[in-house]
Amino acid sequence: MTWLDGIGPTSPAVRSPARPLVRGAGFRLPPDAAEAPAAPAATAEVMLGGMLALQEAESGAVRDREARRRGQEMLAALARLQRALLEGHRDLPGLRRLAALAEDIPQAADPGLRQALAEVALRARVELARHETITTG
């Protein structure tokens, strides 16, 4: 630990417009204090670790947001496909859109969201396979 040795002049006198001339303001450290700059390095490590943790948390939130958006789009495409089938016609553009959405699912940070997306993607693939069989059969 560094101890203060005493109060004494550390810089030349400073004059500011708001204050009169001040001499001898400041403090000085003992000569061995300059040899141990360990505290700033440790502080820098803690700050860097905190910044990395914050960045990771933010990137997890971004991944979850993207995954949630993709899941909602797949559910909407499945609902459009269902409506088209109930109306008696096939929705080929809707099938292509569903195939594109189910192709590359973003990896969610939240395990529950990741599981829900896997189930929605599985349902989309089943529907695509079913319509592939109808188209070729």
Is it the case that residue 11 has pLDDT exceeding 90?
Answer: no
pTM of the model: 0.55
Closest CA to 132 of 105, 102, 110: 102
Per-residue model confidence as pLDDT tens digits over 83-126: 998 998 888 888 999 999 988 888 888 999 999 999 999 999 99
Reading the block at residue 83, the tokens are: 């409506």
Per-residue model confidence as pLDDT tens digits over 12-40: 555 555 555 555 556 666 666 555 555 56
> Which residue bears the tokens 């403090």?
27
